Structure 1
């Protein structure tokens, strides 16, 4: 070893004469390191021998076949601390650690033939002082006349420490092979050493960097205060960890995670400074992507609800302090769903992106445009002078959608509804403002006067009432609070009851009977109408069966269908209920509204034809109040028209009502359809309708809707309509 180091020193001195000043300094440092390493090599044979004498000896044990010690060497005494007289005669288990309880005694479970040596194993053993050590175990089985005669066990220390020179070499190798860049400077801040990762990350070779200062990597993006913190660490102010933007040899800037520490000599003076750094460009890119995913809508690239909430939260804090105002607009785009269903989702998505672009052009630079979900956008006007200014912006947004949007050879027309809330008048936190704007937007969707509406407290109270009704209506379905009332249909020829309409009633435990006009719209909007519709059909059939079992001949009962119920599975669901109660199809009539017919699809016609084929009759309810069309009266298998009460109430004195009623009756007669007038309350109305040729009436003139037991009584007693002479 000594000769090798001396040869290195000789080569170093030879190179000094051929090197420049910077390289000479590096060679000085190499010689110093070699001289330091020289101090750890046992050059003097006598100290080396003394060191060898002090090294731990290998331990040798002999055991009989049962595992008891028969021989104990000096090495065993040195290794374990037991004298021979303490160990001999003991079972080998006394050297085992207390937690070696797996039942496997390595010295006894020996499967080799006499004379063979088992494979070396590393095991734990306990010294006399209780210390647990790791030893290498070799076992040789002795042979006595062909029979096992015990065994020889050799043990050596397993955890031998590295020599000082080995440590130096190992640490140097670890630094050189590290994935982190290593930069070492001297007390004058000159680079004296780098590793291969430094070159890989920065592009600078040792020849280009040794002798230079770390300013070689300076990017120029950090201010003087930041650089002062780094220099403070380099001058012994304590380790510094952080992120720095560095510059590669090719001029590219890159983020790096850096640790800087100073090294002091035996006198406490700073001799060197080392920096460990990693290129974190990939991590930063991933972090930026994650940040974008968390804060931006992936389709349109606009801020999402999360980022909108952050930006508005900051604006709210400022407006509270400055007493200024801001506004939030929620915009729902109409017809995008229908366009996507017809032309494909790619067109629908492209349309949303184009709408976002048009909205952005209509707004100020400081306004925040975000996409909430589905077809909803939100606009935060962070500062407005007057409440009315938000309305002006709403008009601009609506105007941006007034013209058809050209997209992929298509000319697409959409509309919008806008809800507006103003802070801090309407609310002082973001979730409340968004909720209020949603409420106003929903109100605008129902309005025929304006496509944008400002939120008000009255509107908020209605929204709360809506939620209360929805919650209590769900409970009503579970708590048997619902009932069917029956309003008779009377023949205008015989005066007899010829049918009835089943009408849903809600017996609220606290509020009594709740009007259908209150809870049916809520059920339609929330989807509860599906559950209510199933309940009504089930209860009507159950009641018809009960009447039949009581030997009561019952005329057909009409049940109202919501447009939401009208799907391909409707005929099957009705057939199942009819079969369950043994009710014939002609005992149940179905009433539908014009809103269903204007959908006008072939699927609707097919479903209607299936119902008629089952033997059921279809009636068109509230005729004349919707988008009435003679075309669908001809196409759909409708057997009955019901004149809405709004055309009956003015009879026989309102000229327009009389004309409309006369036209409906005449048309129905030509189409051979039965006519029922709803809401008949006076004898004059009845007489006029009878003279027109109307077939039936339904209204308070004869009877309001009544419970099932009262309707059954009317039938038993043969109650009739009295005609005036």
Structure 2
């Protein structure tokens, strides 16, 4: 094509882009005529040697995600010297210089698509090339390959040519690019920015990067990013951004700055890629690797990892934990009879039921087939594992309705405890599985500990729980009353109601045996309600019999101390027509650990009803002067562990004196528990203690015996 014809064609191309309407149509028509004439002239006078005026194709290489060449254009053939037939099917590494890096991996892992690289031609010549990578999607929109655009870097490129090349690479980049000025105002974005974020250049220019802020990052994270934009150094990382639509998306971001000749920051730029696809793929891989596809529960692999981590923490903090293996009874028969669909749905429903019996922090996993695993990563007592095992069995007690089939299924559970049974996850799993097999050999649903000692203790625990339920329902529980006497007058001024269990076969069982079991199993709620109502009933009987009984103190468990407690107490008082001053409520220090915000409103409501509150076992737990200032308590009880050593043990004497002094400063009544000797009584009286309770005056006695003491006016002999 003659030079004047080529120049006219280029001018018409520019006109066609810049004009519109009739002028544009005229330019396009003239351009078409010139091209047709040039083609006819070329056909009439073919030239075997291409002229320097022919615009050569840009080198473009296509490859799959594994790096094998799938397409090779004429520009690539001219640049490297390999024909299309020689290049197709080869791994792209055949073009690399010996010391080059795997740029495809850099792109896939870090989103880097613009780079300068060293390559080798067929002749052996090594050269520098400017390279741009982008993903190629299949018909379904999934990435199935890479497109490589290349150009050889030659020293003869002018600064203007370089600038145009760089601008083209930026504009054609598959990554979003955002440039801000020194005042953090956006001055330029590329096409990929618009495609990724949804914001056009007009919408983004003059805004700040906060346009994309998701609100998902804390202030420290945002400060790191802003510091990079202010020149503290390049920053790379992942950020959650927000599209114009409001959708939150993950992005891989690189931030750096541009400085002028004086070293002053003139611009900052961010290069980012939408990595949603990679994150979703990573999540799918994690899901497949760590979760059971049927039930959605953690699988054996994840259970193993979590238990291993918990064992490390347990060793460091001296904590207990347990591992339970659960094998379902009759599942195989149901599966074989009713088919896969029913069997699969049954497993899912069983997983849901077992999950409801556990704490949020406990782990439930499907190990294989009809076998589940439970990790109790942190338990206060080893025996608690047996309580959880029974809860899991109870969860399966009711029939399961699956596809109109009323199915009943049991389970055998094996338990291993750490650190007693072992400190390795594999061993604990093996031990729990062995214990489960022992349960199966017994021929019925239940649980077994791997350790024979733990198994014996768990069975005893279960026996006490079962018999205690029968005792509560069968009237085997009763109250005894231990008098409180004044250290000023010696008179009986109150009593503490103490629960006793009269077992039909084993006689009187002390509270220390069954109260811990009641606390752990939740039976303490029913027992506490019974104690409250029985004490009120007894006070009413004494009153009806003409006895002016002193106030009776009732102990409250921390489990009873909830928002409904004032209502329950009010109901009991009203049921037996008692005034609140006839009743005192004693709480323990462990209740205070729950925090003032939870317990103070309940305490205030009880005090407003006219009830007096006492703090039992003071000095053994978490109390301090700060607690006593916050809580509306009018009585402190010195624990018997500090009374035993009086008046000879120096430390016990100092603690008792401190408690009495503290109570006097706060105008609280002081009661000493467990007083058994005259010397103890005299020391406490000299300290200024108000009352004592203990065997020196009387042990806990039945209601009739206490009534007789009050009627006879029995006194403590203070002159002893």
TM-score normalized by the length of structure 2: 0.43
> Larger C-alpha radius of gyration, 1 or 2?
1
TM-score normalized by the length of structure 1: 0.43
